[in-house]
Chains A and B, each alone.
Chain A
Amino acid sequence: MLRAVTRTDAVLLDPTDAYPELRDVRARLAAGDWESVRRMLDEVSPVGRTMLIRYAGTVAESADDGVERLLREVLERDPTDAAAAAMLGTRLTDVGWRIRTQARAQDVSAEQFRQFREWLCAAEAVLIDGTARNPDDPALWTVRLPSARGLEVGLAEVRRRFDRVVPNHLPAQRQMLQQLCPKWSGSWELLHPWCHAQMLATPPGAPQGMLVAEGHIEHCFELPQGTRTDYLTSDSVRDELYEAANRSILHPEFGREFGWVQAVSTFAMVFSLIGDHRSAAAAFALLGELATEYPWDILGDPAEKVRHFRHEAQVGVR
């Protein structure tokens, strides 16, 4: 009894719960042991490497924790170190985005924008050099996507950068997805077919089906309240969502590679919103206690929302 309660109530949103490597890489970085960080990065898959680099590069506690200095020292010793360049680029971009915040442009002050741009320019200086020396590094090109978005260099330039990343690189695809939203420089007409095509380009069981779900979530929450459920439950959207789920998280080949939690968590929310308890329960079963902040944070406090809908799905199935 006690066990069941624990299982249904805990919501583990911290990505390090799903991928302990993330905690590990940050600890090694904090210890200033670049060699061991590099060893770790060299051993994981390209997607895992990008995720670790971006997680480690993101400001953990304070921007003044010595990480930037360490990474600059590494690059000074070896300017060709792609991982250090990508991590430093991430860090500078992240500081910039924290100043800007995720607010709509009209709610961001001129001074915030000025500083934001300054940080992104500093990031680009590192990243331009990094990609010049390592033209095939997927992590570097992935990091150049959010910097491009913030610098508002336009869709064509973001596409050019995206095209330099190896195909089916989920972290880059998710950045590109954001760019294709109308709030940046895209449109729904561009976004949905793109998500679908990106999914079809991967073998069945790959997590890329989540791009279709994420695209519809982005679209849904741009619509006026009251019409959102109608949108998600319309025949065409529904069909696309099930096709995507069956091709990814519900497929027998669906694995547990880096990114899998995000994929399942995204579908769990979509199914919850359209009231398909059975599919939602299947997704929550895959997740166990795990979940992700996005996209649940759109609804409110993510832990609370996950808990609520998870319970609803389990009750609904019973």
Chain B
Amino acid sequence: MIEQIEVDGVPALLAPSNGPAHAGLAFRVGFADEPLTRRGITHLIEHLALHSTGGADYHYNGATGVEYTYFHMQGSAAELGEFLASVCVSLSDLPMGRLATEKDLLQAEANGRNSGSAATMALWRHGARDYGMSSYPEWGLPAITEDDLRDWATRYFTRENAVLWLAGTDVPTGLRLDLPSGARRPLPGRSSALRQTPAWFGGSSGVLVWDAEVPRAARSAVFAGVLDRAMFRELRKEGGISYAAQAGYEPLGAGRAMVTAVADALPEMQGALLGGFVDVLAGLRVGRVDEAEVATVVRKRVEALLHAEEQGARLPGQALNLLVGRDVQSADAAVAELRAVGLAAVVEVAGEASASGLLMTPHERADWAGFTAAPDRSEAAVAGVDYASREQGGAHLIVGSEGVSIASERACVTVRFDGCAIVRAWPDGGRHLVGLDGLMVAVEPTLYEGADDVAERLDALVPAALRVDQPPRDPDRVPKPAPPPARDVAADVSERAYGILALFFRVPLTLLGLIVTVLMASTLTFDTEDVGLTIGIVLFCAGLTVYGGFGIRRSYRRYRGH
């Protein structure tokens, strides 16, 4: 039973929990609120706010999402109180002395993060704005100032824009949430970069990803479950096309939700993966769904929901609901909504989902399956100064007063200054412009004839607020024109010398692969989360090890002159 109370003017949900007590403080702010030029600012504030609690010896964390940011901890009532108070103090007075260090930490965290195959979906669906932001790295970090942080915190980390949840017997005595006053911030609009749906674009990871916007409702969640089972059955079990094929459901704002399906395949099976998925989806759309299948999904979801209720795990979701104006839903009501879902409702969602779908194919075209190509080029180039490419068959760079284009005979990509999301600027003259529609023009002076002045010309045209200066690039990362085909340089290196060199790199790399394989494989015995990922990494590293082993043998033979 969830009880609605108020703590220090912050709406709060209290519910008993069978597990240890835990609490969370959430704010209605996330990536979707950030402009690309300040991308990362919410995450940075989250880090700064947690810094002062860093010494404490209890389980806590923070998370920044697309729509919400929250601080969460588990511990005794006294510890919860201490933690929440400390977070609120930090939010009102961010430890700016930590700014540079936390920026570095975020950069490191980003480098180590695997963004996953679904990461680019948001960019294609929404462009470089609002809900498209989750596709982008924290490109705004270098530009974020102390004033920016204070403004952002004042706008979003306020009492009116917060919600608290407590899983335990009581509100910790003397709990204070000393937050500044402000206003509830509504969710940003959902821009679309797609002219028509269902739409497709070709991916590069060999994985198929499909997502669709559906109403936020039990029937949509059941549809996702039915899709998940159909994918497993037809793509994995019977078809043997895919190893990992699954679908999930994620609420989005107050009234919408996203169903996302992901499936992998070996390169030679990718065509069949696309065809198989298209047929799975078509089967659901035309109503070829087993009543028993729907009943199974409903039963499983009811079980999961009741379990979550016991653990207090429904609390965070219900708390976030309050932030977007949804009422708290009791477990009984949620169960009743699930049990009312029948075949017809699932088929109806399948139709809606098919119509709003965005598909990233493993590689190939999906026009034949009724999908429209998602825009990947602009309608027109700007007029302006023209720079010819230094590469054979390369496209022209055009810098005009209204924007920049890269244009070939067949297609062009344009970023207009009045529709620009960010200009990333490097000291070497490189300028990357990203349009609000998600299209990008990379201005690399090294690649164009007589383009030494191009950075200067651009800087005079681009609104200053869009510019984010980047630290110097490694000279190797500054693009160079592709050299005309020449004779193989490697042939100049003697076979023997190459053998020694190769051994020098291959031995440690192979050992590393072996160690990672063994370590990761051993975690399989106790770490039950992300088993799929772990198995994937183990297999990958094992592959590297084997490949390295052969390489060493080859290099050694070469070195010995065999």
Contacts and interface: CB of A to CB of B under 8 A. Distances in A.
A153 interface: yes
B268 A156 contact: yes
B526 interface: no
Interface string A98-129: 00000000000000000001001100110011
Interface stretch (A32-40, A49-57, A131-139): A131-139
Nearest to A131: B279
Given A132-B285, A156-B269, A120 B276 contact: no
Contacts of B368: 117, 120-121, 124, 147, 151, 153
B369 A124 contact: yes
A256 interface: no
Contact of B270 (A129, A132, A135, A156): A156
Given A125-B370, A129-B286, A133-B286, A157 B279 contact: no
B274 to A, nearest CB: 7
List the 5 closest A-B pairs by CB distance, nearest first: A154-B271, A132-B282, A156-B272, A157-B271, A157-B275
Interface of B: 239, 241, 268-272, 274-276, 278-279, 282-283, 285-286, 288, 364, 367-370
Contacts of B282: 128-129, 131-132
Interface in A255-307: none
Contacts of B283: 132, 135
A161 B286 contact: no
A183 interface: no
Interface residues of A, number: 23
B425 to A, nearest CB: 41
Contacts of A160: 239, 241, 272, 275-276
A13 interface: no
B268 A132 contact: no
Given A129-B282, A151-B368, A153-B368, 11 more contacts: A79-B286, A121-B370, A124-B369, A124-B370, A132-B283, A153-B271, A155-B271, A156-B272, A159-B272, A160-B272, A161-B275
Contacts of A132: 279, 282-283, 285-286, 288
Contacts of A147: 368
A153 B364 contact: yes
B288 A128 contact: no
A36 B364 CA distance: 42
B501 to A, nearest CB: 38
A27 to B, nearest CB: 32
A182 B285 CA distance: 36
7 contacts: A79-B286, A121-B367, A128-B278, A128-B369, A153-B271, A154-B270, A156-B271
Contacts of B239: 160
B355 to A, nearest CB: 14
B434 to A, nearest CB: 32
B371 to A, nearest CB: 10
Contacts of B367: 117, 121
Contacts of A117: 367-368
Contacts of A133: 286, 288
Given A128-B282, A129-B286, A131-B279, A157 B369 contact: no
B146 to A, nearest CB: 55
A128 B279 contact: yes
Nearest to B287: A133
A70 B369 CA distance: 24
B245 to A, nearest CB: 14
A43 to B, nearest CB: 27
Interface in A64-112: 79
Contacts of A151: 368
> Which of A147, A154, A161 is packed against the most chain B CB atoms within 10 Å?
A154
Nearest to A120: B368
A160 B272 CA distance: 6
B271 A128 contact: no
A157 B241 CA distance: 10
A75 to B, nearest CB: 12
A135 B369 contact: no
Given A121-B367, A128-B279, A151-B368, A157 B272 contact: yes
B288 A157 contact: no
B215 to A, nearest CB: 23
Contacts of B279: 128, 131-132
Contact of B370 (A128, A135, A148): A128
A135 B283 CA distance: 9
A223 B279 CA distance: 39
Nearest to B285: A132
Contacts of B364: 153-154
Contacts of B271: 153-157
A117 B269 CA distance: 22
